[in-house]
């Protein structure tokens, strides 16, 4: 800490992003990126905007909101776009939490929730997952706090049914319930439709996973107009031009390329099934994934040892967590078919 610091963030433990090593070429299965490039329509739209970079982007994201609203079946004033879903989540902590209105989320979930709580001085409570790593919806019924739930959850990959999300929203009418759907397109039910019924529900999604735009940084939230208005007040008070012209255009192109979206998503689901079957055949326990990754462990080797051998000897990166209850597991992103074949082959050789 520098001598100029006010000390406000002296105890803040920042979020740790997945490794992005530059010293070696890896098969990269550690940060849940899509193995496919963005769609041709996204590329073409983004390229066209390169000729207008001297101009500020539209702060209202008018065309992007219109295109997304039509795709999602909501009104344009029920959606907000931000610089990745993380920005939407941070705005939610800023808008709907304070020292008197704390937050609550699972003890095993997306690591940014606790960081955002600490960053914004928000007291928070965590609820333990069940022994089978599922979220117990009863823990959040009538809890009278701002609820944050990743559905499907990360890093477990397990999803709550929509009926449980509805129970949580219905039982906390005076508090916002935030459902983080970063991975929803890979097998879970979206709660977007419930935002029409529950004015306390905020659904957050991203273009990073199923839309192949992780490098563009584009995310959004869907909620009733009053919630969106509050989030936009924060956005316009920090950075009204938070979505650059190129990203905005790429997002519009991606939304309009439904055929590519469905085709690449189907391929990832196919590759996931192959990976799950391959790991189970090797004696792994694999949690029920509804995401573009799997969470798996083997009784034959510690999670850390397998991670290290894959990285150092085989040139394959997966994600390992040191947190209790997670250290035996590794989170493995679903990549291209040849990458998953290589993974299963190398793990087979390691276990021999």
Q: Give the tens place of pLDDT for each residue, 32-53.
A: 999 999 999 999 999 999 999 9
CA 339 to chain centre: 22
Tell me the helices (H) and strands (E) count for the chain, helix number first. Answer: 10, 13
- The sign one gets for the Cα dihedral 28, 33, 35, 41 is negative
**Per-residue confidence at 327, pLDDT binned at 50, 70, 90?**
very high
The residue whose two tokens read 């992003």 is 17
Q: What is the pLDDT, as a whole number, of residue 261?
A: 98
Whole-number Å distance between alpha carbons of 203 and 208: 16
Would you tell me how many other CB atoms lie within 10 Å of the CB of residue 246? 18
Instruction: Kindly indicate the confidence band of residue 129, based on its pLDDT and cuts at 50, 70 and 90.
Output: very high
Predicted local confidence at residue 166, as pLDDT? 98
- pLDDT for residue 1 is more than 80: no
The predicted pLDDT at position 6 comes to 84
Residue 3 has pLDDT above 90, yes or no: no
Q: Average pLDDT, stretch 28-34?
A: 97
Region 78-84: mean pLDDT is 98
Pull the structure tokens for residue 224.
């009733």
Q: Above 90 in pLDDT, residue 13? A: no
In the predicted structure, residue 2 carries a pLDDT above the cut 90: no
Average pLDDT over residues 76-101: 97
**Helical ranges in 76-185 per DSSP H:** 85-96, 112-119, 162-171
CB distance 254 to 261 below 8 Å: yes
Per-residue confidence (pLDDT) for residue 146, from 0 to 100: 98
| pLDDT above 90: residue 18 | no
pLDDT tens profile 282-322: 999 999 999 999 999 999 999 999 999 999 999 999 999 99
Q: Verify cis geometry, omega within 30 degrees of 0, for the bond prior to 155.
A: yes
**Least-confidence region, from 6-10, 106-110, 265-269, 276-280:** 6-10
**pLDDT for position 68:** 98
Q: pLDDT value at position 16?
A: 85
What percent of the chain has pLDDT above 90?
91
Question: For position 10, what pLDDT does the model report?
Answer: 85
E strand spans, 79-192: 79-82, 103-106, 124-127, 146-150, 177-180
DSSP 129: P
Determine the pLDDT at residue 17. 86
pLDDT at 9: 86
Segment 237-244 mean pLDDT: 97
Per-residue pLDDT of 165-211, as tens digits, reads 999 999 999 999 999 999 999 999 999 999 999 999 999 999 999 99
């Amino acid at each position: 800490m520098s001598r100029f610091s006010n000390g406000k963030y002296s105890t803040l433990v920042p979020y740790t992003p997945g490794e992005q090593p530059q010293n070696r070429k890896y098969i990269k299965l550690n940060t849940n990126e899509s193995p496919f490039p963005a769609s041709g329509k996204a590329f073409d739209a983004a390229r066209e905007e390169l000729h207008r970079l001297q101009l500020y982007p539209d702060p209202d994201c008018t065309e992007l909101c219109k295109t997304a609203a039509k795709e999602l079946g909501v009104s344009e004033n029920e959606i907000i776009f931000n610089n990745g879903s993380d920005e939407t989540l941070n705005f939610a902590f800023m808008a709907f939490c304070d020292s008197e209105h704390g937050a609550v989320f699972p003890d095993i979930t997306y690591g940014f929730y606790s960081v955002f709580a600490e960053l914004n001085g928000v007291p928070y409570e965590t609820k333990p997952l069940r022994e089978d790593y599922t979220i117990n919806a009863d823990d959040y019924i009538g809890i009278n706090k701002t609820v944050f739930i990743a559905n499907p959850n990360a890093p477990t990959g397990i999803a709550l049914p929509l009926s449980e999300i509805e129970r949580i929203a219905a039982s906390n009418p005076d508090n916002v319930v935030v459902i983080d759907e970063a991975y929803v397109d890979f097998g879970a039910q979206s709660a977007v439709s419930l935002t029409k019924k529950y004015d306390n529900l905020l659904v957050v999604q991203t273009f990073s996973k199923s839309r192949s735009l992780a490098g563009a940084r584009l995310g959004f939230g869907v909620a009733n107009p009053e919630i969106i208005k509050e989030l936009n007040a924060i956005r316009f008070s920090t950075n009204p031009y938070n979505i650059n012209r190129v990203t905005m255009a790429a997002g519009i192109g991606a939304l309009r390329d439904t055929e590519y979206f469905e085709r690449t998503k189907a391929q990832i689901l196919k590759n996931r099934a192959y990976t799950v079957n391959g790991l189970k055949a090797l004696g792994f326990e694999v949690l029920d994934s509804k995401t573009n990754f799997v969470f798996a462990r083997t009784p034959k080797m510690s999670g850390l040892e397998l991670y290290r051998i894959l990285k150092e000897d085989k040139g394959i990166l997966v994600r390992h967590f040191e947190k209790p209850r997670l250290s035996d597991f590794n989170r493995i992103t679903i990549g291209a078919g040849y990458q998953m074949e290589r993974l299963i082959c190398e793990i087979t050789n390691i276990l021999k």
